[in-house]
Amino acid sequence: MSEPNEHPSNVEDRTATENAGRDPLVEIVDQLTELKAIFTHLAEVKIDQARRWARTAAFTVLVMTFVSIAAAALIVVSAVSIGYGAALGLSEAFGGRAWAGYLAAGILLPASIACSAWILITLGSNRRKRQLVAKYDSEPTEPEENAKP
């Protein structure tokens, strides 16, 4: 290495004389070896990043699958509980006849769900229709006289 008080031109001269004895082909091979080590390290980093991403993605899919199954099970359990409660309530309303309560609940619950879905679909369709009518009513229907074809 250079001395702290050495002039920069002396350092360059000494480096040039040290490298003058080396074969240029050996120098190129050394640089290519260093470049190979750098690219190998970069490739290892990229592979590790890809592995980490794959593990994270797989874990996320696994957790979301579990949560979705649990949510579906909770929805089914709550629907069954609501239906069972409605059937028991209707049984009491029919004078303690369980078969009548279960029959009424079995008819009324799906019918109420179907009616609710039909109402929501109709309201949504009517809203989209009103939006389109309003859009085209506000736009001019005839082309302007000065408009170029």
**pTM over 0.85, yes/no:** no
Cα–Cα distance, 134 to 130 (Å, whole number): 6
pLDDT averaged per 10 residues, the chain (length 149):
54 56 86 94 95 95 96 93 92 91 90 93 91 81 58
Q: State how many domains the chain has.
A: 1
User: Does 56 fall in a domain?
Assistant: yes
DSSP track, 17-30: HHHHTS-HHHHHHH
Q: What share of the chain is helix, strand, coil (3-state, %, to 5)?
A: 85, 0, 15
Specify the pLDDT at position 138. 78
Specify if 42 maps to a domain. yes
The region that residue 2 occupies, defined by phi over 0 for left and psi between -120 and 50 for alpha, beta otherwise, is beta
38 domain-assigned: yes
Domain annotation covers residue 4:
no
In a domain, 2, yes or no: no
13 sits in which H/E element: helix 8-20
The predicted pLDDT at position 22 comes to 74
| The pLDDT of residue 116 | 93
Residue 5 domain flag: no
The confidence score (pLDDT) of residue 81 equals 92
